[in-house]
Structures are given as structure tokens and as C-alpha cells.
Amino acid sequence: MTTKTVEIKRRFLPMDAQTERDNLTFSFSSEQPVERYFGEEVLDHDEESVDLTRLNTGAAPLLFNHDPNQVLGKVTKAWIEDKRGKATIKWATNPRALEIRKDVENNILENISVGYQVNQVEQDEEITRAISWQPVELSIVSIPADPSIGVNRSTSIPANQMTTTPVSNYEPINTSIPDEFARESDNFSIIQAAKGIASGRGLSGRELEINTELERVNGKRTQGFFVPSNGWSTRAYVAGTAASGGNLIATEHLADRFVDSLRNSLAVAELGATMLPSLVGNVDIPTRSGSASAYWIGADNSDSITESTGALGSIAMTPKTIGAYSKFSHLMDLQATPEIEGLVRSDFLAVIAEAIDLAAITGTGSSNQPRGILNTSGIGSVAGGTNGLAPTIDHLLELKKEISIDNADVSTAGYLTNTKVEAALSQLKDDQSNYLLNPYGASLGDSRISGRRLVVSNNVPSNLSKGTGSNLSAIIYGNFADLMIGMWGNLEILVDPYTDFAKGTTGIRALQSIDIAVRHPQSFAAMVDAIAT
């Protein structure tokens, strides 16, 4: 069975009740602005803006604390009057309804909450105005909320099965908004957002609200949409065994899952590159090119300390935009299941991660590119030969020595090269034909090359030249914590449904602002003339 997912919001009003027999009439909504995580929201109360169909067909219940198991009655009539939503309900006759009715008539319970769905909004710099919205249920609630900030939002729920979180479990008002944004970000769907843009309808529901907030945070509007940074976990749909999807359950909310996911895809990050997310404006990273001197002094304090000053500097990082372009056939037919959503996200991560890895290693520093390790002035160098030379264990040890003599070697440093060099090193033998590196033991490099790791990525070039040598490879050794990868803003996605319309293909371009810098060049050394085929 296929269920449609809707989003229910709530806002509260004090009850202005009028009782007549078994009926109760009250206001349930107004145009008072309500502060939500994306700014102020106003519900428009023009007749054409409010869809009262559900309330006027007898299908809408009156609940207690939004609990569908505590039905107190049903809505018999709803209308708009003086820019307020008003309704008449008929009390049920079950014991719980009679008990609550008595508390209402005695002014013990005085607050009404409306659950509603937003279909269309108008946005300006300060206010989001819902110009098409539909009330779906009314509740008498036991815990009052300040109408100016009192908004709670339920999780996404199937349209034919309404479930809510008990009011007693709500977060305090002053802390729920960030938590709410994090929860909603986890359920942000790139597929749903892309479908909305491609169809011409635009964004709606959760994707619209989150994008509105991200536009505010990023300080710019987009013709596509922004993807929340902490929405890169797999969405929780099924609990059970791994085979049935149990591993898809998200159990915690992290500050920046996009960076975490990207880190897992980057070879330089695997070796410890420092990720700097959520940067704003141009950034100067402090560096130290010299150190102060230390002196021993006598116990009688007769010795003086000579003044010395460590040389301080900085490296500048400025945002540079990387673009990745993908095509999706029959986008409108894609189902926004966790598996398909995960595949789409994995595609974007793979493309962006490859581009960042490549820039971190070989970026030229020109033509809008960041400057990578191999093009950074001041890194150490180990030469093979006039026209290149096959790499040996000695070359790897020389690379390590290059940064050790600058006191830059650390236990977490490591080697980075490509698969050609990996194969060449794996096949090295002594004069007794014994492998120098055990191909059947631990991973290559672990406890074999002075205990330092070796990570392999084909983004390390194998097309270098020297003298008459060509197709030479690079080997890098270094403290990769001194490789800084800065990120600005959120991943921005633009949708092009027109270029390949006849083929049923939709183009999607992902944009991310980053920069890369080597904080201390002496933390790296490279061999760029390794012969490996």
C-alpha cells in the first residue's frame, strides 16, 4: 500500500468558547505572526487562502493533546470571520470526552491547538506568508504556549494514519527550534525538491521551509535549492534486521553530516586533512614559521632571559566554487525511498569528493582552482633520476626524512600515491626473491614503512614528465592535518529539465564553495618522478 506523506504544523490560541447544548464554538487560528526556525510565519485568512473542506465534511476530529486515541468530538462547521478561523464542534459522549468537557466549562482547560498543512507560501525578507493552507485537526491542549513563539511541528506522518508526539515530551520552547530544524533536515529529500523544480511547481512542504531558512543563512536566493548540511544521514523508515533495512535507522543528530560524509570519501581526509565547515567571508589561517627560544635560569634569579619572538604569519582562504553535473533519466518517476535517495546523494558525494581530492593534490592555484600540495612552494622533494626512476623503499624513507629534519613528522603522518605505485611497491623483492612488503599480511604500509600508513587514490597523478621520462607518478608523504579544506555555505543544486527534454533526462548541477591551503609546507614532501606502469 502506498501512503502519501503530509506535514502537520501546530499553533495555539487561548479558547474564546461559546457553549450551546452539546456544541462548542471557538476561534482556532489568526494572522498573528509566529516565530519558527525559518523566520516569522503568518497564516493568511482570506477566504480563498484557507481550505476548510476537511473541517466542514465532518472528517476532522477534536482531540486531546493531539492524541488520536483520545477523541473528544468532531468538527461540524468551520468558517473565516474577522481574519480568524472559527469552528463549532460537537462533543462526544465517551467518559474521557465528558471529563474534558467539564474541565473546559469550568475554565480549567482553555487552550486550542490547530494542526495544519501548508500548500503554498509567499516569501519576503522577514515573513513567510502561507497563502494556501488547510486545517486538518483541532485539539484541546493541557499545556499552554505563548502564541508569539509557541509552535510545535510533528514528524512526517502518513495521511491515513496520524501519529503525534505527546505534548509532555516536547522540548522547551526556547530550545525546540534548532532541534526541530535538525530533525526536519534529516528528512529533506533531494529527489522531491528536484521534482518540484523540474515540474515548474517549485518547492513545497518541508523542502520549501528548509530552503527558505538556508537562503536566509547563506544570504542569497537560489534558482534551485540548498541542501541542509546535517541532512546527509540515511532516513529512518524501517526498524529490523540489516537485511530488512534496520541499518537505515538514524539514531542521532550531528552538526554537519555533509562534511562527515564527504570526509569518508576523501583520500586526503582519510590521512587526516583538517575540514573547516561553515566558514563566512575570507578567512586567514594563522601559521608559525619560527619559534621562540627557551633558556635555563639559575635559582637565584640572577640570569636574564633574552627576548625572542616566534615568527607568525597567515594563509588566506577565499571561497572558490566547484560544480558537478549529473543527468537523471525519468526523474519524475523516481520514488523518494531511502534507497533511491541514498543513491542520488552518493552520486553527488562521489563527484564532489573526487574533485576536492584532485584539487587538494594537484590544484594549480589558478583558473579558479585551489592550490594543492604538489604545487605548493616550499614542500620537500626527493628526486629519482634524470628521467625518473622506479620507486624503492629507500625513496619512501627519504620522503619521511625530508619532513623529519624540519620537526614536522608526527605519528599520524602517512603516504599518498596511486595504484600504479602501489603495485610497483608490492612487487619489490630482495635478492632471494622474497617480497620486501608482505602482500599477504597487513595493509600495505602498516608497520612496514616506519609504521606509517599508505593510502591509494588515482587522483594522485601518473602523467608527469621529467627529462625524457613520461607518465611518471607522484608519491606524497606528510602530516595531512596541515592540509586545510575550508567550506562555505551549503550545497546548492540547480535543475535543468529543458536541455534533454526529448530524452526524458533532467540535468542537475551541484555547486559547493571551498578552498584548500597547506598551512605549513615543511609538513609535506613529494617524489614526482616515480616510474610505475
Q: Pairing between strand 524-530 and 469-478?
A: antiparallel
The least confident of 74-88, 279-293, 349-363 is 279-293
Domain membership of residue 482 (yes or no) is no
DSSP 288-354: ESS--------TTS-S-PPP----EEEEEE--EEEEEEEEEETGGG----HHHHHHHHHHHHHHHHH
Q: Is 190 helix (H, G, I), strand (E, B) or coil?
A: helix
Residue whose grid cell is 606502469: 533
Of the CA atoms within 13 Å of residue 311, those in its CB half-sphere come to: 3
- For the chain, the distance separating the N- and C-terminal CA atoms, rounded to the nearest angstrom, is 56
Q: Pairing between strand 283-288 and 312-317?
A: antiparallel
210 pLDDT above the threshold of 80? yes
Assign 361 a pLDDT band (cuts: 50, 70, 90). very high
Share of the chain above pLDDT 90, in %: 28
Return the higher-pLDDT residue of 216 and 309.
216
In this prediction, residue 137 carries a pLDDT of: 85
The candidate with the shortest Cα–Cα distance to 479, out of 530, 388, 415, is: 415
Q: Is 90 helix (H, G, I), strand (E, B) or coil?
A: strand
In this prediction, residue 331 carries a pLDDT of: 67
pLDDT per position as a tens digit, 156-192: 333 333 333 333 333 333 333 455 677 778 888 888 8
Residue 402's contacts (CB-CB under 8 Å, 6 or more residues apart) are 380, 381, 382, 477, 525
Q: For residue 169, what are the CA distances in angstroms to 143, 237, 279, 406?
A: 11, 22, 35, 57
In this prediction, residue 376 carries a pLDDT of: 96
Domain membership of residue 298 (yes or no) is no
Assign 448 a pLDDT band (cuts: 50, 70, 90). low
Please state at what angle helix 338-362 crosses helix 190-199, rounded to 10 degrees.
90
In this prediction, residue 273 carries a pLDDT of: 93
**Number of structural domains found in the chain:** 1
Residue whose grid cell is 609546507: 521
Domain membership of residue 98 (yes or no) is yes
| pTM score | 0.59
* Angle in degrees, CA 202, 206, 212, rounded to 5: 65
* Angle in degrees, CA 24, 29, 33, rounded to 5: 155
Share of the chain above pLDDT 70, in %: 74
- Integer Cα distance of 358 and 311 in angstroms: 32
Q: For residue 52, what are the CA distances in angstroms to 56, 64, 344?
A: 6, 21, 38
| Stretch 83-99: mean pLDDT | 91
Q: Pull the grid cell for residue 154.
A: 510533528
Domain membership of residue 487 (yes or no) is no
434 pLDDT above the threshold of 70? yes
Domain membership of residue 147 (yes or no) is yes
In this prediction, residue 174 carries a pLDDT of: 35
Domain membership of residue 191 (yes or no) is no
| Total residues found in the chain within this entry | 533
Average pLDDT, rounded, for the chain: 77
Assign 243 a pLDDT band (cuts: 50, 70, 90). very low
In this prediction, residue 364 carries a pLDDT of: 94
Could you give phi then psi for residue 99, rounded to 5 degrees? -65, -45
122 pLDDT above the threshold of 80? yes
Residue 145 identity: A
- Integer Cα distance of 346 and 510 in angstroms: 13
Under 8 Å between Cβ of 512 and 321: yes
Residue 509 identity: R
In this prediction, residue 234 carries a pLDDT of: 38
Return the higher-pLDDT residue of 50 and 173.
50
Domain membership of residue 58 (yes or no) is yes
- Integer Cα distance of 80 and 31 in angstroms: 11
Per the structure, the complete domain to which residue 14 belongs is given by 5-165
| Stretch 223-249: mean pLDDT | 52
Long-range contact list for 374-378, CB < 8 A, 24+ apart?
A: 374/461, 374/474, 374/476, 374/526, 374/528, 376/518, 376/521, 376/524, 377/521, 378/521, 378/522
- Integer Cα distance of 405 and 319 in angstroms: 34
Could you give phi then psi for residue 339, rounded to 5 degrees? -70, -45
Domain membership of residue 44 (yes or no) is yes
Neighbours of 429 (CB within 10 A): 10
The secondary structure element, H or E, covering residue 132 is strand 127-141
Assign 198 a pLDDT band (cuts: 50, 70, 90). confident
Residue 293 identity: S
Rg, the chain, Cα only:
31
Q: Pull the grid cell for residue 219.
A: 544570504
pLDDT per position as a tens digit, 55-64: 998 878 898 8
